[in-house]
Amino acid sequence: MPDRRPIGFFDSGVGGLTVLREVLRRLPAESTVYLGDNARAPYGPRSDEEVIRFSSECLDELAARDVKAIVVACNTASAVALADLRRRYDVPILGVVRPGASAAVLTTRTRRVGVIATQATVRSHAYFQAIKDEDPFVEVYEHATPDLVPMVERGVIDGPEAETAVRRSLAPLLGERDGDGDSVFPLPASATIDTLLLGCTHYPLLAPLIAEVAGPRIAVIDSATATASALAHLLEVNGLATPAGSEASHTQLTTGDLAAFGRTAERLFGSLFASIGPIAVAGAA
Ligand code: DGL
């Protein structure tokens, strides 16, 4: 029995649209409801308790809209709150950490993977754990890069300011020890990563610049693309897929200021954002 109900997407703000963007490319027949908790973003510097509480409130809002599955597009919420969220709801819930970790394990040849993410994601070691679960012999170097989210939100994704910030943020993972990096697992001078996993919703928007700074020997991959594939699989195994060719509808919700959400989303996603439907204010926050 095909299921035409929408898929819910949750993020702390607009960044999760990078995940929605990949899902729309991969599953164009699926309808979606996207909720950004802009009123309380960013989640990256918050405590685990806050991330769990806010995420639960937002998922209550999505669950009330009769969604057939939920994607926790926010890396921080996936890393910190996924287990709690799965206990609360009886719809299938997909996070972005496991799909991203699997893609990293399939990509690395030297078995050395770097992960950049928010402070809360790095503190949780969720990526470390997920990669080790797939292959205990992969070395994982997690590094918090908190400067990048606010910069992307301002629409700065290329040019000198972005390049300086990306170089400074990646320096510890590229073996340049004189940056201000606070790597949880400092990279030994002899080791070099061959795969860099972008473990934050905003970083795919910086991917061309990050790839340039990282150089041709490092594969740059992101959780958004991997999550779209995992979602296709989830819908298939649960018999939840909408038939190909169906007309999809899309709704966007924010707990924050409507106009500010629209401006940021449009600045970052341009025509895609304009094409994906009305915005309404959600009551979660
Ligand atoms: N959505 C968050 C994530 O992917 C980044 C923004 C934030 O800190 O809230 O981790």
**Closest C-alpha to ligand 1, atom 7:** 42
Residues of the chain with pLDDT under 50: 177-184
d(CA 259, CA 42): 18
Residue-wise pLDDT for 142-159, tens only, equals: 999 999 999 998 989 999
Phi, psi (rounded to 5 degrees) for 249: -125, 150
Phi, psi (rounded to 5 degrees) for 209: -70, -40
CATH number for the domain running over 98-223: 3.40.50.1860
Does this chain's domain 7-95+225-278 share its CATH topology with 98-223?
yes
Ligand 1 mean position to 52 CA, how many Å?
13
Distance from chain centroid for Cα 146: 14
Report, as residue numbers or ranges, the catalytic residues.
Answer: 74, 200
Ligand 1 atom with least separation from CA of 200: 4
Q: Does 15 sit in the ligand 1 pocket, CB within 6 Å? A: yes
Residue ranges covered by each domain of the chain: 7-95+225-278, 98-223
Ligand 1 mean position to 70 CA, how many Å?
17
Q: CATH top-level class for 7-95+225-278?
A: alpha beta
What pLDDT is recorded for position 177? 47
- Cβ neighbors of 60 (< 8 A, separation 6 or more) are 284
What pLDDT is recorded for position 230? 97
**Closest C-alpha to ligand 1, atom 2:** 74
